[in-house]
Amino acid sequence: MNQENKRLYLSSPTMNGREQEFIKEAFDTNWVAPLGKNVDEFERELAGFVGIGHAAALSSGTAAVHLALKLCDVTAGDVVFVSSLTFSASCNPIVYEKAVPVFIDSEPDTWNMSPEALREAFKKYPHPKAVVLVHLYGTPAKLDEIMEICKEHHVPLIEDAAESLSATYKGKHTGTFGKLGIYSFNGNKIITTSGGGMLVSEDESLIKKARFLSTQSRDPARHYQHSEIGYNYRMSNILAGIGRGQMTCLAEHKHKKNEIYKEYKKQLADIEAITLNPMNPDGDANNWLTCITIDPKSHVSPDLLMDALEAENMESRPIWKPMHLQPVFAECDFFRHPGTEKHCAGGSVSETIFTTGVCLPSDVKNTQEDMERIIAVIRSLF
C-alpha cells in the first residue's frame, strides 16, 4: 500500500507476537475454554502491575461495571451517581438493575467528574448507593476530593478505569482507589484481548463473589444448582492468553501514547483556537486518546476538521456525547459544575467539551511521518 494513503487509525489493536505463545499453550494443553492457566495468570499479572490484591477476568468492561454495582448491593430504585461525559457502558449497567442514574458534570481542569457538582448532587440525593467515577481518555480525576466526599457520605466509589489502565494519581494506579475498579480490553484500548475486562479490589471476598456470579452462580453441589441469578461473564482462556502477551508491552504503549500527545502539543501550540485535553498535575495520564477543543469563534468546526482528516484516510471521532443529553436518559437528573451556566455551551462543562472537541488519531503504530501528515492536515485548516 502507498504509505501516503494508508489508513491512520484512532486507536487500533497492536499485537507484539508474544500473544501467540500463550494462545498456543492453551491449544496444546486443550485449555481453550472456559478457564485455565492464562486466566489465572492474567489476573495475577494485572493485579501485580496495578498494585492491588485481587482481580477477576471478565468478558467485558461493561460486565465488570455490572458486577461492581451488584457487589455494592445496587437494586431497583437505588440512585447511583455517575460521570456524564463518558461512554454509555459506564451507566447502562445501572439500568440493568433498574436503578436510577444521576449524572454529574465534568470540571474543566481534567474533564472528569466535578467534585463541586458531586457535592450538589448529595444535597438532593443524600443516600445514593454508589458513585461511578470515569477517568476520561486516560487522565486521572481529582481523586482526593472525590474520595473525601464519598467518605463523608459513607458511599462506595467504583472507578471506571476502562480508558486509564497504567495511569497513576500521586503514584498510585487508577482503578485501585475505590471499593472496586474496572478495566477494559476492548479492541481500541491501550492493550486489548479483542474483548474483555477486569474487576479489581483489595477485598478478596468481593472478587470471589464476582467469580461466582460470572460463572452462572453455580452452587458447590455435584449437580447443577443455583440459589441466585448469575451471568456468563467469565473471560476465556484464549482471550486471557492475548492479554498476557499484551501486558508485556503495556509500558511501551503508554510511552508511545505520551509521545503522541507531546507531539500534538508541540506542533499545534501556536494555533490559538486549539486547546489539548488537560492533564491532572497530580497524575500521570496514559494519554489513551489525544483530544482537542476548538474555539467556537473559529471558522474551523469539529465536523470540518474530522471531514478533512477522513478525506486523507485518517480516523478521528467526536468527544463522547454526555449521557444527560442522550435520548435514552432524557428523564434523568443532571448536576452542573457550578458557575458554568452563563459561560459554557448548553450551560455545562461536559456539553461544551462535546460540542467543541475532537479525538485525534492516537494509534501507537503512528510513525513520525504519520504524525507529520496528520498535523499538516490540521494546520492547513487554520
| Tens-place pLDDT, residues 96-115 | 999 999 999 999 999 999 99
CA–CA separation, 174 vs 165, rounded Å?
A: 7
pLDDT of 31 reads 87
Q: From 315, 240, 213, select the one nearest 7 (Cα to Cα).
A: 315
pLDDT of 1 reads 45
Residue matched to cell numbers 459506564: 90
Q: What b/e sequence results for 214-242 when a residue is b if at least 16 CB atoms lie within 10 Å of its CB, and e otherwise? A: beeeeeeeeeeeeeeeebebbbbbbbbbb
Burial of 42 (0-12, 13-18, 19+ CB in 10 A): buried
> ∠ CA 266-112-256 to the nearest 5 degrees?
40
CA–CA separation, 367 vs 156, rounded Å?
A: 43
Instruction: Tell me the three cell numbers of residue 1.
Output: 500500500
pLDDT of 2 reads 53
Q: From 257, 356, 343, select the one nearest 297 (Cα to Cα).
A: 356
Determine the 3-state secondary structure of 142 from DSSP. coil
Q: From 8, 11, 14, 2, select the one nearest 368 (Cα to Cα).
A: 8
Question: What's the Rg (C-alpha) of the chain?
Answer: 21
Q: Which helix (H) or strand (E) holds 58?
A: strand 54-58
Instruction: Tell me the three cell numbers of residue 126.
Output: 443524600
* pLDDT tens figures, 239-273: 999 999 999 999 999 999 999 999 999 999 999 99
pLDDT of 345 reads 55
Which residues in the chain come in under a pLDDT of 70? 1-4, 341-346
CA–CA separation, 277 vs 285, rounded Å?
A: 11
% helix, strand, coil for the chain, step of 5:
40, 15, 45
Determine the 3-state secondary structure of 349 from DSSP. helix
- Domains in the chain, start-ordered, CATH in brackets? 18-247 (3.40.640.10), 250-381 (3.90.1150.10)
